[in-house]
Structure 1
Amino acid sequence: MHCDDISESDLAHLRQRYPETLAFLVDLFDARLKKEGIDAAGLADKLILELAFYGGGRDFYVPNGARLKAALKAIHIYREFNGRNTNELAFKYCFTSRRIDQIIQEQRAIHSKANLKS
């Protein structure tokens, strides 16, 4: 079952059953969404359900600090890349054009393997 198929009342029931860590994550996501001006009831629950749908039962590593910032920057570069803007991205992100090309190559491999690029 995909998270879009779950009603708001079912989401509320599921939230009561979350282990403590998942409840913390829902509260964390909810607080961030509200801070960003997004106050959609149940959206944090749906994000957690989406995460569980695609990654449930798997162990995965989420970096922190400088590694997380570098990983997110690489994702942003990949999303902004249009095939002709290597120099612009190099200037914007303070990298060489060669490093931008390396990042694009790395991200292509990651995204094609995981089928995440839409």
Structure 2
Amino acid sequence: MSMNEDDLFGLDHTNDILGHLDDEALHQKHLWPGDLVELAEVIRAQLLREEVKDDALYLQMERVLLAMSFLCGGRNYYLPKGERIKKALRDKRIYDEFDGKNIRGLSNHYKLSEQKVYEVVREQRQLHKNRIQHNLFPNEQA
């Protein structure tokens, strides 16, 4: 292959880009011990507020961190802030508490319309289904 075929536009900077990405990836890898300490401190502080004591505190903190590592280890993930995460956690709780017959109770407890509770359950059911059963045809509309 000639140089022109390798670099049709005279812009073959692939090695420069890959080199930069590798440096960035290495830099990110070196940050994880500090991130782990930060997460551990947040979890520890919350467990202390809940009056979890001594060995149980560290055991629970380690279990949470190991579970997070099992699920998300080796990849970046996003957690929303403020009201968005509160709403997402509320919706998860509604789904977990839903038994098929308690729409009115959930509606009253969470101060939502019955229609909104049904909507939350439907959305959460789809999220859980997607987590368990991945879509084989992601570009097609349901």
The interval holding the TM-score normalised by the smaller chain is 0.7 to 0.9
Q: Secondary structure at the match of 2:80?
A: coil
Instruction: Tell me the CA shift for residue 32 of structure 1.
Output: 0.9
Structure 1: unaligned runs, 5 residues or longer: 1-17
Indicate the residue corresponding to 1:47 in structure 2: 64
Read off the aligned partner of 1:42 and give its amino acid letter: L
What per-residue deviation string (whole Å, max 9, x for no partner) do you get for residues 61-109 of structure 1? Answer: 1111111111111011111111001111111111111111110011011
Q: Which has the higher contact order (CA 8 A, sep 6+)?
A: 1
TM-score, normalised with respect to structure 2 = 0.64
How large is the RMSD of aligned CA atoms in angstroms? Answer: 1.4
Aligned length: 98
Structure 2: unaligned runs, 5 residues or longer: 1-31, 133-142
Structural mapping, 1:87-98, within 5 Å? 87-98=104-115
Indicate the residue corresponding to 2:37 in structure 1: 23
Indicate the residue corresponding to 1:64 in structure 2: 81
Instruction: Tell me the CA shift for residue 37 of structure 1.
Output: 2.0
Instruction: Tell me the CA shift for residue 23 of structure 1.
Output: 0.6
Read off the aligned partner of 2:36 and give its amino acid letter: L
Indicate the residue corresponding to 1:35 in structure 2: 49
Indicate the residue corresponding to 1:108 in structure 2: 125
Q: Which of residues 59, 79, 82 in structure 1 aligns to 2:96?
A: 79
**Looking at CA atoms only, which structure, 1 or 2, has the larger radius of gyration?**
2
Instruction: Tell me the CA shift for residue 59 of structure 1.
Output: 2.0
TM-score, normalised with respect to structure 1 = 0.75
Q: Find runs of 4+ consecutive structure 1 residues off by over 3 angstroms.
A: none
